[in-house]
Chains A and B, each alone.
Chain A
């Protein structure tokens, strides 16, 4: 459906902490760069979608307003960690349907440090101690360790992998390597998750210009799939964070549902991928995502970690950007940040972290709601 949509331009405001700079100002920076990259200006686009969970009322209007670009339809999109993927999906669908030929997509966020406070949880749940996000991550991590034969050492290896990749990403919040020992001796937050195993909520923005492919430059990456799915009911450890559930093995998770849709839309499968950017909110989350996306079988994670298959220079680099564990996670910007990374790689502009010969890449987010997004980009050649 989306084979005729191109990623015509990309822009990024670095992820980190920027005191005195608003989320909207960061969004304007990223969007301005993306429009320059696509060689478009006012009058060349027909709509804009702004992904944010905490930006507040009319965030997209504030971003476009800062650049004198208002007047077109501007819609804010909130889907937790999948907000960027959701905005991209809406924009791509509108182009594929012939409603628009060029759409701006921008993701912004400005979050404090520490545990995220979310209106998803009612005040009584906060008072009862039932709103501790990392605790739910920890419960899921324990389940993963039980069912996939993993230990705390494997969680540490995953962090080492992503942080070693992040060294080559100047737009990441953390640019230093860590050792497994440092990870395993960092402060315990919720057993088995320690501080260095959790990504940092932070600040940043990312933007993408989508165009009908015949209007975009010949070398621009194609959007092969931009899928969004929500959870099926019944799982107690899903990101929907229910108070109860009945089954956690027989219910297909939203990441798998979105991936299945994406394989069908894009006409590719896991074996066709050259790189993956995926949700590593915590170390266990990425290890579970590998399985949920069909990148590995149950229990294969330990061997893949040991052999470096999904590490820098491996057969399928996962989170070559450093992942959220290096970049931090500005919710509304994180998914589009992944898409910017894929586009850079497919354009051969990955610098020191370039994946050689990258032709097809997948971006994945999963978050509160629960919503999962899976986006697949391919070079114009790969798109056929």
Chain B
């Protein structure tokens, strides 16, 4: 983990190193399909032939909205973006979206995985994955 990055909000879902944040998924050798988070068997086919993989760090925005009110258990700032990004391997992943006006972001916008800091239930800073526009 690079210095200055708060600890992950939950273990096993992503890694943070000098390259930034990488989501940890799985790929079934028989179905060829990827999934997230890593599961013991392929969640689509049940095949028992999953290998851990690093998921692509880039993709395109599919759907996005802006959350205007804090959901229960969330103490971070509002509004914030929440959306689905289709990664380069076709896997669609849910995550926070860092943008000034997330609801205005067009589908197909090139996105990349980034680290974002949120506060956990104990008031400690933690790292979670998010998506941001690829710098033009």
CB-CB under 8 A for A131 and B73, given A191-B65, A234-B44, A243-B36: yes
A residues with a Cβ closer than 8 A to B are 114-117, 121-124, 126-135, 138-139, 142-143, 146, 187-192, 233-234, 236-237, 242-246, 248
Q: Which residues of B contact A129 (CB under 8 A)?
A: 67, 70-71, 74, 76, 80, 82, 96, 118
Q: Which residues of B contact A138 (CB under 8 A)?
A: 65
Q: Distance (Å) between the CB of B48 and the closest chain A CB?
A: 15
Q: Distance (Å) between the CB of A137 and the closest chain B CB?
A: 9
Beyond A123-B121, A124-B120, 10 extra complex contacts between A and B, CB < 8 Å? A122-B10, A127-B73, A127-B121, A130-B95, A139-B84, A189-B68, A191-B103, A236-B93, A236-B94, A244-B94
Q: Does the CB pair A142–B65 fall under 8 Å?
A: yes
Q: Does the CB pair A128–B72 fall under 8 Å?
A: no
Q: Does the CB pair B90–A246 fall under 8 Å?
A: yes
Whether, in the assembled complex, B110 has its beta carbon less than 8 Å from a beta carbon of chain A, the answer is no
Of A124, A139, A246, the contact of B33 (CB 8 Å cutoff): A246
Q: Which residues of A contact B44 (CB under 8 A)?
A: 233-234, 246
| Nearest neighbor of B122 in chain A, beta-carbon distance | A127
Interface centre among A117, A121, A246 (most CB of B within 10 A): A246
Q: Which residues of A contact B120 (CB under 8 A)?
A: 123-124, 127
| Nearest neighbor of B36 in chain A, beta-carbon distance | A244
For the complex, give the distance between the alpha carbons of A132 and B91 in Å. 22
Q: Does the CB pair A244–B91 fall under 8 Å?
A: yes
Q: Does the CB pair B69–A131 fall under 8 Å?
A: no
Whether, in the assembled complex, B75 has its beta carbon less than 8 Å from a beta carbon of chain A, the answer is yes
Interface residues of B in 64-121 (CB under 8 A from A): 64-76, 80, 82-84, 90-96, 103, 107, 118-121
Q: Does the CB pair A131–B74 fall under 8 Å?
A: yes
Interface centre among A127, A143, A187, A237 (most CB of B within 10 A): A127
Whether, in the assembled complex, B43 has its beta carbon less than 8 Å from a beta carbon of chain A, the answer is yes
Q: Does the CB pair B107–A132 fall under 8 Å?
A: no
Whether, in the assembled complex, B5 has its beta carbon less than 8 Å from a beta carbon of chain A, the answer is no
Q: Does the CB pair A135–B67 fall under 8 Å?
A: yes
For the complex, give the distance between the alpha carbons of A221 and B67 in Å. 44
Q: Does the CB pair A236–B92 fall under 8 Å?
A: yes
Query: How many inter-chain residue pairs (CB < 8 Å) link A and B?
Result: 123
For the complex, give the distance between the alpha carbons of A192 and B67 in Å. 10
In which size bucket is the chain B interface?
35 or more
For the complex, give the distance between the alpha carbons of A211 and B84 in Å. 47
For the complex, give the distance between the alpha carbons of A121 and B74 in Å. 12
Q: Distance (Å) between the CB of A40 and the closest chain B CB?
A: 41
Interface centre among B71, B76, B82, B120 (most CB of A within 10 A): B71
Whether, in the assembled complex, B126 has its beta carbon less than 8 Å from a beta carbon of chain A, the answer is yes
Q: Which residues of B contact A128 (CB under 8 A)?
A: 9, 74, 96, 118, 128
Q: Which residues of A contact B43 (CB under 8 A)?
A: 233-234
Q: Distance (Å) between the CB of B80 and the closest chain A CB?
A: 6
For the complex, give the distance between the alpha carbons of A187 and B69 in Å. 10
Of B76, B92, B96, B121, the contact of A244 (CB 8 Å cutoff): B92
Q: Distance (Å) between the CB of A265 and the closest chain B CB?
A: 27
Q: Which residues of A contact B73 (CB under 8 A)?
A: 117, 121, 123, 126-127, 131
Q: Does the CB pair A132–B84 fall under 8 Å?
A: no
For the complex, give the distance between the alpha carbons of A246 and B107 in Å. 17
For the complex, give the distance between the alpha carbons of A178 and B17 in Å. 53
Q: Does the CB pair A127–B71 fall under 8 Å?
A: no
Q: Which residues of A contact B103 (CB under 8 A)?
A: 191
Q: Does the CB pair B35–A244 fall under 8 Å?
A: yes
Q: Distance (Å) between the CB of A306 and the closest chain B CB?
A: 26
Q: Does the CB pair A130–B94 fall under 8 Å?
A: yes
For the complex, give the distance between the alpha carbons of A129 and B94 in Å. 11
Q: Does the CB pair A132–B36 fall under 8 Å?
A: no
A-B pairs with lowest CB-CB distance, top 6: A126-B73, A191-B103, A117-B72, A132-B71, A138-B65, A244-B36
Q: Which residues of A contact B76 (CB under 8 A)?
A: 127, 129
Of A146, A192, A242, the contact of B107 (CB 8 Å cutoff): A146
Q: Distance (Å) between the CB of A185 and the closest chain B CB?
A: 15
Q: Does the CB pair B93–A243 fall under 8 Å?
A: yes
Q: Does the CB pair B92–A132 fall under 8 Å?
A: no
Q: Which residues of A contact B92 (CB under 8 A)?
A: 236, 244-246, 248
